[in-house]
């Protein structure tokens, strides 16, 4: 492999991460239409060198080759593990096997994870405390414990002299293209999608982390996926809203349909919402991109679920989407369920089972036998009106 360019993102801070444009799925859950990157940074002080995070399995040789363009693996004094998920931490054991002196710096929970997942020996691990600093010689790294972003052991590292925040998964996005935020078209949309898929369940922890770094002079955010934010106010601004669950006049509609009856019901409802000026992204689950659904869940105030009955239960695609809503914990407040059936009911009670514990206020439900009648359409329009009233009242 020929490595041509190792960007220096700040004074003596080198980007040594790798790009994975062909990857299409993460955690067998998150679609990656533009692949992703596994970012890693080498910070060279006058006396010591620190490596911040590593790369996904399979990229070890490329990674070491990139490091060798600006330093060498043997010269590294500290390996910093901001997060233990293998896309960032699996190459730690490879690096330590080629370096006999470096210590691994981790949180207390990170030490357990490093031993469990990567068999890192106890005597190579040094547990940091919240706020602790290390001096590299003219470069000071401060560690900020920020758990559940996105596993329990996560932390940020902050380079004081240059104002660089190494935030690991937080503030990241999945695209293999563009080194800096201003080189990625629709950067915020990709960031929102990523937030919905990965950070939304932990948004209260995200808010806590933001409060911890609020007084730092952050000039650059260097996350572990996607572009480096040299205009950090942009990503920080939207995270301020998303982590507190700020919603818009928006209702997301997800539905499955077998013989178009559920779809007819959904379309009737959508028409009313749109007449009221509400933003209504609509997803037919037969070909929907789950990442786009996650993106719209980040700031939608209402949700509509449409599903036919299949053998007394919801359609399996609707089950999947509904389960996603329960685990992603979006800030959505109001819901409507529209179901249809041929000869036996069941989808509506199944939906209630799953959505009941979410705390969603169900504004209206319908269960229609066969094709919807004119009377059914009138009822749907009434339900849509009630939903619109609720959504618009939040202003």
According to DSSP, the residues that pair with 341 across neighbouring strands are 369
Min CB(26)–ligand FEO separation in Å: 8
Contacting ligand FEO within 143-202 (CB under 6 A): 150, 169
Min CB(197)–ligand FEO separation in Å: 11
With respect to ligand FEO, which residue has the nearer C-beta, 152 or 331? 152
Min CB(86)–ligand FEO separation in Å: 8
Residue 14 near residue 70, CB atoms below 8 Å:
yes
- Rounded CA gap, 132 and 154, in Å? 15
Min CB(83)–ligand FEO separation in Å: 6
Q: What is the number of the residue whose Cβ is closest to ligand FEO? A: 85
Burial 305-322 (b: 16+ CB within 10 A, else e): bbbbbbeebbbebbbebb
Residue 225 binds to ligand FEO (criterion: CB under 6 A)? yes
Is residue 359 classed exposed, middle or buried when 0-12, 13-18 and 19+ CB atoms within 10 A define those classes?
A: exposed
What is the torsional sign of CA 293, 174, 109, 132?
negative
Give the interface segment with ligand FEO, choosing from 79-87, 94-102, 124-132, 343-351 (CB under 6 A): 79-87
Residue 165 near residue 143, CB atoms below 8 Å:
no
Residue 201 near residue 152, CB atoms below 8 Å:
no
Which residues does 328 contact at the CB level (< 8 Å), separation at least 6? 196, 197, 200, 201, 294, 297
- Rounded CA gap, 144 and 153, in Å? 11
DSSP single-letter state for residue 137: S
* Angle 11-16-21 from CA coordinates, rounded to 5°: 130
Min CB(206)–ligand FEO separation in Å: 13
Residue 44 binds to ligand FEO (criterion: CB under 6 A)? no
From its phi and psi, is residue 233 left (phi > 0), alpha (psi between -120 and 50) or beta?
A: alpha
With respect to ligand FEO, which residue has the nearer C-beta, 85 or 263? 85
Min CB(135)–ligand FEO separation in Å: 28
With respect to ligand FEO, which residue has the nearer C-beta, 219 or 329? 329
With respect to ligand FEO, which residue has the nearer C-beta, 192 or 261? 192
With respect to ligand FEO, which residue has the nearer C-beta, 45 or 172? 172
* Angle 266-268-274 from CA coordinates, rounded to 5°: 100
* Near ligand FEO by CB under 6 A: residue from 14, 44, 66, 88: 88
Min CB(210)–ligand FEO separation in Å: 18
Min CB(261)–ligand FEO separation in Å: 41
* Near ligand FEO by CB under 6 A: residue from 20, 53, 87, 153: 87
* Near ligand FEO by CB under 6 A: residue from 48, 66, 83, 315: 83
φ, ψ at 365 (rounded to 5°) = -140, 155
Give the interface segment with ligand FEO, choosing from 44-52, 80-88, 121-129, 175-183 (CB under 6 A): 80-88
With respect to ligand FEO, which residue has the nearer C-beta, 136 or 298? 298
Residue 60 binds to ligand FEO (criterion: CB under 6 A)? no
φ, ψ at 372 (rounded to 5°) = -65, 140
With respect to ligand FEO, which residue has the nearer C-beta, 113 or 164? 113
Binding site for ligand FEO (CB under 6 A): 83, 85, 87-88, 150, 169, 224-225
């Amino acid at each position: 492999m020929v490595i041509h360019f190792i960007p220096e993102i700040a004074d003596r801070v080198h980007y040594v991460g790798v790009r994975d444009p062909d990857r299409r799925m993460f955690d067998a859950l998150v679609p990656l239409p533009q692949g992703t990157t596994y970012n890693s940074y080498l910070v060279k002080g006058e006396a010591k060198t620190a490596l911040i995070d590593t790369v996904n399995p399979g990229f070890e040789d490329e990674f070491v080759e990139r490091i060798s363009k600006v330093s060498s693996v043997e010269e590294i004094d500290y390996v910093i593990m901001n997060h233990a998920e293998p896309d960032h931490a699996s190459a730690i054991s490879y690096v330590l096997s080629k370096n006999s002196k470096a210590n691994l710096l981790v949180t207390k929970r990170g030490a357990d994870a490093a031993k469990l997942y990567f068999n890192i020996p106890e005597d190579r691990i040094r547990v940091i405390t919240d706020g602790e600093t290390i001096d590299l010689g003219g470069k000071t790294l401060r560690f900020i414990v920020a758990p559940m972003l996105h596993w329990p052991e996560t932390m940020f590292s902050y380079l004081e002299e240059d104002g660089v925040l190494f935030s690991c998964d937080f503030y990241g996005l999945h695209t293999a293209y563009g080194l800096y935020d201003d080189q990625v078209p629709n950067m915020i949309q990709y960031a929102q999608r990523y937030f919905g898929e990965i950070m939304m369940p932990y948004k209260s922890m995200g808010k806590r982390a933001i409060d911890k770094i609020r007084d730092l002079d952050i000039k650059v955010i260097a996350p572990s996926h996607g572009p480096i934010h040299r205009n950090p106010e942009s990503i920080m601004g939207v995270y301020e809203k998303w982590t507190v669950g700020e919603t818009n006049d928006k209702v997301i509609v997800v539905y499955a349909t077998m013989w178009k009856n559920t779809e007819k019901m959904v379309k009737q409802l959508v028409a009313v919402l749109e007449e009221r000026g509400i933003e209504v992204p609509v997803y037919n689950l037969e070909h929907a991109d789950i990442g786009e659904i996650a993106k719209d869940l980040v700031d939608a105030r209402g949700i509509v679920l449409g599903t036919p009955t299949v053998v007394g239960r919801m359609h399996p695609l609707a089950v999947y989407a509904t389960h996603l809503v329960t685990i992603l914990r979006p800030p959505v407040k109001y819901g409507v369920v529209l179901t249809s059936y041929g000869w036996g009911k069941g989808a509506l009670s199944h939906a209630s089972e799953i959505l009941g514990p979410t705390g969603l206020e169900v504004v209206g439900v319908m269960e229609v036998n066969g094709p919807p009648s004119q009377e059914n359409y009138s009822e749907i329009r009434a339900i849509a009106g009630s939903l619109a009233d609720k959504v618009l009242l939040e202003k």
